[in-house]
Amino acid sequence: MKLLCSTLALLFLAACSRPPTNVQSGAREQVLHLGNGAEPQSIDPHFATSVGAHNILSSLLEGLMEADPKTLKPIPGVAESWDISEDQRVYTFNFRENARWSNEDPVTAHDFEYSYRRMLNPDLAAQYGYMLHVFKNAQLYNEGRKCMGKGLWLLPKKGEPEKAHIAHPAEWMKLDAAGRVKALKSLRPDEESQDAICPFCKQKLQPMNWNDWDRAKVGVKAVDDRTLVLTLENPTPYFLELLNHYSFWPVNPATVEKFGA
């Protein structure tokens, strides 16, 4: 009988000495354990492309807007308030004064402008760069294209170049081949000079880089540390919801400049 009791006691002690589960240790140590599936390829919001990365990033970073956990409607994040223009194209965000990075630096509108500029930089080749094409002129900058000068040049086969002002270089870039032919015909009806634009205009299109941000007039502008103005290419009813995607989340400029990510 004593042997049986001793055996049962040993079994009881062995059961009690099992390592605690994640739930048990988490409750005791106040640590939240999350099962994330696969290892994320990056936790840089401008390189991340997976759900696993999003799960981690959402615990580390905050965008202009967040999603209400019950309704999923947009609620304030870094931005405590915002104004929308009458034409639904210009959004002005006012930042919380207490928004901070983990190193206690304030999160500023300039951080967001830097982040969006980085995300759209053609040299970065961010997979989700197209998400930011919602901003005015962002697609042209992201695809590395610009038009030199205020207009386009028509080059007749004989004589000097003749300046032809098309509404805006971006409008010309949007036209397909047929649309450009039509535009040229309206400017120069004589057939002799209609075809001469092609090689000359190609010379006027040059690659765009990081330093062309201001010249490209992308619709992202930090007015001051706590005011960010975003101008859209077109009215976008779901724009506030878009801002909760990690491609719109900021990076700390000083950290990126020092470590590269």
Strand bridging mode 90-95 / 162-164: unpaired
Write the DSSP string, 35-95: ---SPPS--STTT--SHHHHHHHHHH---SEEE-TTT--EEESSEEEEEE-TTS-EEEEEE
Q: What is the pLDDT of residue 221?
A: 97
Question: pLDDT band at 38, cuts 50/70/90?
Answer: confident
Spans of all domains in the chain = 58-142+211-259, 145-205
pTM beyond 0.75, yes or no: no
Q: What is the pLDDT of residue 91?
A: 98
In 85-180, the DSSP E strands lie at 90-95, 145-147, 152-154, 162-164
pLDDT greater than 80 at residue 259: yes
Q: What is the pLDDT of residue 198?
A: 42
- Higher per-residue pLDDT: 227 or 214: 227
Beta bridge mates, 194: none
Closest Cα to residue 62, out of 81, 43, 42, 79? 79
DSSP summary character for residue 34: -
First-to-final CA distance of the chain = 67
Task: Show the tokens assigned to 104.
Answer: 């206690």
Q: Which residues of 158-195 are buried (b: 16+ CB within 10 A; e: fewer)?
A: eeeeeeeebeebbebbeeeeeebeebbeeebeeeebbe
For 197-218, write each residue's pLDDT tens digit. Answer: 444 454 445 556 667 788 788 9
CB 135 within 8 A of CB 230: yes
For 58-114, write each residue's pLDDT tens digit. Answer: 888 999 999 999 999 999 999 999 999 999 999 999 999 999 999 999 999 999 999
CB 62 within 8 A of CB 96: no
Burial category of 126 from C-beta neighbours within 10 Å (exposed 0-12, middle 13-18, buried 19 and up)? buried
- Higher per-residue pLDDT: 137 or 173: 137
CATH node for 58-142+211-259: 3.90.76.10
Q: Which of 154-158, 204-208, 234-238 has the lowest mean pLDDT?
A: 154-158
pLDDT greater than 90 at residue 152: no
**Spatial distance between the Cα atoms of 221 and 163, rounded to a whole number of angstroms:** 31
Q: What is the pLDDT of residue 136?
A: 93
